[in-house]
Structure 1
Amino acid sequence: MALVLAALPMALQADPPPDPPPDPEAAVSVSRHTLAEAKKFMVSAANPLATRAGVGILERGGNAVDAAIAVQLVLGLVEPQSSGIGGGGFMLVYDQADQRLTSFDARETAPKRAHYRQFVHQDKVLSWPEAVNSGLSVGVPGLLRGLAEMHKAHGRLPWAVLFEPAISMAEQGFEVSLRLHGLLARSNGLKGSTSASAYFYRDGKALPVGYRLLNLELARVYRQVAQHGADAFYTGEIALAIVDAVGAHDRPGSLSLDDMASYRVIRREPLCTDYRGYTLCGSGPPSSGPLAVMQIMGMLSHTPVLEHAPDSPQAVHYFAEAGKLAYADRDVYVADPDFADVPVKALLHPEYLAQRAAQILPDQAMKKALPGSPPGIDPAEFGLDESAELPSTTHISVVDAQGNAVSMTTSVESAFGNKMLVRGFLLNNQLTDFSLAGVDGKGRPLLNRVEPGKRPRSTMAPMMVFRDGQLHMLIGAPGGTAIINYVAKTLLGVLGYGLDIQQAIELPNRGSRNYGTELEEGTSLSGIVAALKSKGHELKIRPLPSGLQGIVRTKNGWQGGADPRREGLALGR
């Protein structure tokens, strides 16, 4: 295991939060969605306007990659709290013609002048609000480079055509949704932003539902990028505007024009493993999401979880215990693989997962799981990193008529990123996904500390499932560190219990991130509280507003599901 040790100080005074940060989607209500069915193609995205834009591109002869790009560009306009060109993401692309799966890592990177103590002031780690709402939190945006690389490799329609739906909406306006209005009303940080408040508020109040909002600045940016390619964003006046904004903040960051111009997307080998006759695939590190999902599914295969109904006390118990073990490994072993040797194969080895699963007792909950010891790995060499990851993200699933597919998760990190609006788009705060302290409580360096050019650990989990060599399912979700449990729950529902994709998405959310067991508030799981407590579970009943978007193959075509906890839509032809 390669660890580059600098001269690091002793432990800093930084107590990680015992609970995850509050999810800004918590006020969103849940209502039943209808399963979408189609014979040729399917799009599932987090906003109906974006979904319909993707469908329109497919009807014009575009493929799954073309549609996913158009969907994302619209989402950056109508769902700015979750994603946009000021952020980054991970893309899985399946090419049916050569049956090849490609993973694009478009994660943000730390500037070349970044350092592991940049979130430390006078030997004290900055608070979360101080760190997030600052220039220090902004990584080099990777999304546009990712979309451009994906299009160059697999796109069919001209690049500029894919911008047309978003440009039209930005220039003609779109209606503010109930979800966007609610998030604006609850975001004091955005309201206090000198660059963003005038766009999102009128007389100090959040834009009302139904207000027709135009974004002419973003339309101009989109037109420049449509005409001149991604270089128009990473060099020239747009890049200068981003760098100037970050440098002019009261707590400035070190982002430079050279950082922008030198950003590169990395094509990484997809991570794949077997589960009950299926092959699960996803993006690998620096994302911890698919790896942890695969660990959970692998450990559950050694338990009788499927002998119990999905929402029964015993099934939820097994699911939560597997989650504790997977998150314990995640918090120690995963970081940017270009800066650390992440033991992916060891963590997914069947014997290792069987050993981990043996710690799951049928009638007694673990208080807190410890990281495991994969062959050749000593967990004592590593520090525990409980860095928070905020839940504002989005997911897109697309399958076209030829069977090509895209599963893509993108993010600006916190709700509305770091609250800085530049040329009509918000900048990310992804650098707060690094360990802010850089060292653990014993002064040991953490794998996920800030380093120049490094990509912060993520939990984004775009995934695809194959059966007998044929694409079977696409799934992903927003939700910060809870993404792992959301995606694993849905995979278990479809692949284990035989539910349709909509039923699996709508299962009440549950699981453990290794600090108590979480149950979704206001659901049928309230009926199993006593039974779980009798097993020793420390329960946290709270809103868990996932935003799952999934597609599953059927004998007659495709079924699509969209999470009713948000405003997404699955639609096909």
Structure 2
Amino acid sequence: MFHTSFKKNVLSTTVALAALGLMHNAWAFDSASPEAASGFTKGKTSVSAKKFMAATANPLATDAAYEMLAKGGSAVDAAVAAQMVLGLTEPQSSGIGGGAFLLTFDGHHVTNYDGRETSPKSATEKLFQTDAGADMAFYDAVVGGRSVGVPGAVAMLELAHKREGKLPWATLFEPAIRLATKGFAISPRLNTLLKSEKYLNKDEAAKAYFYQADGVTPKEVGTVLTNPEYAAVLKVIAQKGSKGLLTGEVAKAIVDKVNSHPTNPGKLTLADMAAYKPKIRQAVCGDYRNYKICGPAAPSSGGVAVLQMLGALERFNLKAIKPDSVQAVHYFAEAGRLAFADRGKYLADPDFVRVPTAGLINKNYLATRSALISEDKTLGTASAGEPAGAKVAQIDSGSPELPSTSHISIVDAQGHAVSMTTSIEDQFGSRQFVKGFLLNNQLTDFSFADKDKNGLVANRVEAGKRPRSSMAPVLVFDKTGKKLEMVVGSPGGSLIIGYVAQTLTNLIDWKMDPQTAVNAPHYGSRNGPKTQVEKGTALAGLIPELKAKGHDAVEAEMVSGLSAIVKTQNGYLGGGDARREGTVRGE
């Protein structure tokens, strides 16, 4: 079904350390990557398996997932084991101090688990504003306790395990506890990101763990790190479940860390921690070509936005043009503009804001949006549409979402699947290191401003609210919705939406194999002033033609971490993004 028919451009990206000193405004992040680039690994090929398969962002995490699958564990079991290892070996991206969105398929139904962080009960819309009423500078808000939300990943995984797990909960922690106790080698990517990092060594605990004696130079690639504090926390969670994190000694340590920051303390309480509850929401599903595609519901914007982009593209005969052509980039960028215009106006926590999900993905509505796309001229900055159910107009004030994120794709021996995107937000989160793990800065995914002349901001800070996300773990089925065809997802901040939509068109329209699909050079627009093409690729040659269509086209670092698992006649075929150090393993 899938073959390598696309003569892909070979990325020549070398190690690039992104400086992330960014201004906070609506589109200041147009060219930003959430994590520094760490090079492109050439020579990766699709991996095949007959029974089961796991793909994660780190080889040790993939091995942990494989270990659970080989023991007869479910896809959810494998995801739990992988997440606990990622928190150790890829701490800059995700962990028990963060949150996640998880889609599962149990052979009959898709379940959408929401493990997004929540703001403290004392939080107000002025949380990220100065005394003068101006928005705080981004990193003034991020670094410290102010940005930390109640972590939700562990509680979410516990809920999913109770419903869909097979192995004992404690068994799932064994690989991570073993690695934390015996040690693991610092990877090239972790070392690269530490070299680009400006704030982490301001935290004494982090400085002692990640840096050499001078407190400035990161520990070298291959240095064996042990983390007995993290192992101890995992043992508590393995025994007590999420209560081991959200109550008791560990919760007190988190709250104390957040509230005692010398320059930027937060307002988190033990009551906030203990009150956290993961949620099950109805997945957002829609059709594209001959497939049914499901993604996460709000407060993630990923599910809606991916379906909106695909819906806008469906009228075009993409397979008749080349995926690296100026016309493909143009169509894709325009679809992105339209989706991000709606995302900014309507998407937020549905427990606080009425989100017109059904209207936003309605076929007739998407047809009217697609009709705005011209063959040869850009829309520029698109305006939001008016879908059915949108009775209360909202506005966006540019939430600076720069998640340092990770993604896990798994299919188990029963054909059950997991697509999970997990995050602590920015690279190394809030830079607060406690008991061997990093705390998130997810609250900066809220809009810093609460209102403007047009009205209230949908994604403003409110007490107990979940900030909007772009995470887009997806499961793809045949037209009937009964036969699993693909598992896809990526890290990458608000760029996730484009990465996932592009990978789906690569797989569906251009019939690429999974490895080619995830490696393909990126392009797109988030409705900012720029149309981006991936730096270091042959797409730069398209910039003059894009400018002739009115695009303000630029090269940009686009550091995805995609994984894709595709069902074949003989089992599964999987690919892991060569931009990061992830692996795919199956049997």
Please indicate the TM-score interval, normalised by the length of the shorter structure.
over 0.9
Aligned twin of 2:283? 270
C-alpha distance after superposition, 1:146-194 (max 9, x if no partner) = 1111111110000000000000000011000110001011111112222
Aligned twin of 2:122? 113
Is the CA contact 1:91–1:408 (under 8 Å) kept in the aligned structure 2? Answer: yes
Give the letter aligned to residue 338 of structure 2.
L
1:305-454 superposed matches below 5 A: 305-375=318-388, 377=390, 381-440=393-452, 442=453, 444-454=455-465
Is 1:560 matched up with 2:569?
no
Is 1:572 matched up with 2:586?
yes
Is the CA contact 2:25–2:400 (under 8 Å) kept in the aligned structure 1? Answer: no
Give the letter aligned to residue 59 of structure 1.
A
Cα distance in structure 2, aligned partners of 1:377 and 1:222: 44
Cα distance in structure 1, aligned partners of 2:273 and 2:39: 36
Residues 32 and 525 of structure 1, relative CA distance in 2, 3 Å threshold: farther
CA offset at residue 351 of structure 1? Answer: 0.9
Cα distance in structure 1, aligned partners of 2:403 and 2:105: 27
Is the CA contact 1:14–1:437 (under 8 Å) kept in the aligned structure 2? Answer: no
Cα distance in structure 2, aligned partners of 1:443 and 1:364: 29
Q: SS at the partner of 1:242?
A: helix
Cα distance in structure 2, aligned partners of 1:17 and 1:135: 25
Is 1:181 matched up with 2:181?
no
Q: SS at the partner of 1:198?
A: helix
Aligned twin of 1:194? 204
Is the CA contact 2:445–2:467 (under 8 Å) kept in the aligned structure 1? Answer: yes
Aligned twin of 1:82? 93
Give the letter aligned to residue 152 of structure 2.
G
Q: SS at the partner of 2:73?
A: coil
Is 1:166 matched up with 2:176?
yes
Is the CA contact 1:306–1:315 (under 8 Å) kept in the aligned structure 2? Answer: no
Give the letter aligned to residue 433 of structure 1.
D
Give the letter aligned to residue 169 of structure 1.
L
1:41 paired residue among 52, 67, 75: 52
Aligned twin of 2:250? 238
Residues 530 and 177 of structure 1, relative CA distance in 2, 3 Å threshold: same
Aligned twin of 2:545? 531
Unaligned ranges ≥5, structure 1 = 1-12
C-alpha distance after superposition, 1:69-114 (max 9, x if no partner) = 1011100000000000000000111101xx0111110000001111
Q: SS at the partner of 1:135?
A: coil
Residues 258 and 28 of structure 1, relative CA distance in 2, 3 Å threshold: same
C-alpha distance after superposition, 1:344-373 (max 9, x if no partner) = 011111111000001100011121111111
Aligned twin of 1:146? 156
Q: SS at the partner of 2:533?
A: strand
Q: SS at the partner of 2:158?
A: helix
Give the letter aligned to residue 453 of structure 1.
G
* Superposition TM-score, scaled by structure 2 size: 0.93
Is the CA contact 1:138–1:430 (under 8 Å) kept in the aligned structure 2? Answer: yes
CA offset at residue 197 of structure 1? Answer: 1.0
Unaligned ranges ≥5, structure 2 = 1-22
CA offset at residue 503 of structure 1? Answer: 1.1
Is the CA contact 1:37–1:572 (under 8 Å) kept in the aligned structure 2? Answer: yes
Name whichever of 526-535 and 156-165 sits farther off: 526-535
CA offset at residue 22 of structure 1? Answer: 4.3
Computed over aligned residues only, the root mean square deviation of the Cα atoms, in angstroms, reads: 1.4
Is the CA contact 1:14–1:124 (under 8 Å) kept in the aligned structure 2? Answer: no
Give the letter aligned to residue 568 of structure 1.
G
Give the letter aligned to residue 86 of structure 1.
G
2:232 paired residue among 213, 220, 236: 220
CA offset at residue 30 of structure 1? Answer: 4.5
* Superposition TM-score, scaled by structure 1 size: 0.95
Residues 17 and 192 of structure 1, relative CA distance in 2, 3 Å threshold: farther
Aligned twin of 2:486? 473
1:90-105 superposed matches below 5 A: 90-96=101-107, 99-105=108-114
Residues 14 and 79 of structure 1, relative CA distance in 2, 3 Å threshold: closer
2:220 paired residue among 208, 220, 242: 208
Name whichever of 73-82 and 387-396 sits farther off: 387-396
Aligned-pair identity in percent equals 49
Is the CA contact 1:461–1:484 (under 8 Å) kept in the aligned structure 2? Answer: yes
Is the CA contact 1:305–1:314 (under 8 Å) kept in the aligned structure 2? Answer: no
